[in-house]
Every structure is written in structure tokens, then in C-alpha cells.
Homo-oligomer: A and B are copies of this chain.
Amino acid sequence: MPPALTKVEIKAPLPGVMPSRRERQKADRRERIYRAAIELFAAKGYGETTIQEITDRADLGKGTFFNYFDGKEAILVEYYRKVTGEFLDYARTLKAPTFRKKIAALMRFSSDTAEREGALFELLIREIFASPALLQLDVQTYQEILGLYIRFIEEGKQAGELRPDLDAAIAARVLAGIYNLTCLEWVFLGKAFSMADMMMKKFDLVLNGMMKR
């Protein structure tokens, strides 16, 4: 159990800067619930963790959980936002000399994230389609990522790297498909390969094509 945050009590909180006691308690309880949930998910899995266990660990009543989150899946939604936000930030500010290097950097970033987050990353992948809220968010994110790929592809065309007649919308979907399916394969086929390596092998195949010249 995480120790209750023992912040120094400020006697005269500046309004708007340091929130009221009530606000601090709220933030603290929310944080306790979130941490307890994430820790339990990582340790025992999502389906195996009950809300009662989460609130026990946060030292709160079961009903309190629902004052802070819409349901069990809302914890995952928050976690998904964090992880995906980092990816999008990285992708949006990414600079690399060639199209291929941009893609390679993205794949590497995701692969690193997956390694670092461990069981939680797997959990996210497994639950995305099971939770309506997560799914909806993922569909939105997917579209944003498609937009990023389209930008990279257009830049690649400008630079003379890619065929000028390439349909960027379709190509973006192919790339996103490689990314997503490899994540799924990685999780559901038992992490039997390096995610980034597999992604790049597929990507190079798509760059070069399958046909005999």
C-alpha cells in the first residue's frame, strides 16, 4: 500500500495556487485509487482484480471508487491516455533525415515503451477491444496516427524518396496496420520476437515491394 502522501500542510493556501484541504484530499484519494488499481493490474491482471480489492488497498469504501472513476475500465483509459500521449508527443516533434529513419524511430519508441511498461502494456493491448471506452479512444488515436503517417509520406514524396503516385491515405493505413498487427502478434504469440525488428522487416518489405522487377 502506498503511504498516504504526507505533504507539508500550508496554513494559508494561496487560492487557485494551492487548493483547499478538500481539493487536496480529493486529489489524494483519486491518486491512491489509481495507483492501487495499476499496481494490482500489473501484479494479478485486469480481470483478476476486483474493485473491492482496489478500494481495500486504497483504504476506501467500494462505493468511493465510482466517485472518482466511471468504472474499472476508466483506470485503463487514463493509463492509455498517458502512454499514447507520450507516443503522439514524440511522433509530432520527431525529426529524422529520411522517411525510413522516421518510421524506424517510431517503431523503436513503441518497442521501448512496451519493454518498459511490461505487463501493463500487454494488458492494454488485451483490453482495448474488450472495453468500449478504450476502443473508442483507440479509434480516435488511430485516426490521428494515420494523419501523422500521411504527413511523413507526403514529405517522403517531396524528398523524392517515395513514388509520387503513391496514395498516401492507403499507404498510411498499411503502415498503421503493420504497427498494430505486430503489437497484437507480439502479445498474443507470446513475445517471441523483437517488436521493433519485426516491424522494420515488414516495413522494408513494403518499401521495396514483393514483385520481381
Contact = CB atoms under 8 A, between A and B. Distances in A.
A192 to B, nearest CB: 12
Contacts of A206: 174, 205-206, 209-210
Contacts of A170: 198, 201-202, 205
A16 to B, nearest CB: 42
A135 B212 contact: no
Interface stretch (A18-26, A32-40, A62-70, A125-133): A125-133
B173 A212 contact: no
B129 A163 contact: no
Contacts of A2: none
Nearest to A170: B201
Given A128-B129, A177-B178, A161 B209 contact: no
Interface of A: 126, 128-130, 135, 139, 153, 156, 160-164, 166-167, 170-171, 173-174, 176-178, 180-182, 184-185, 188-189, 198, 201-202, 205-213
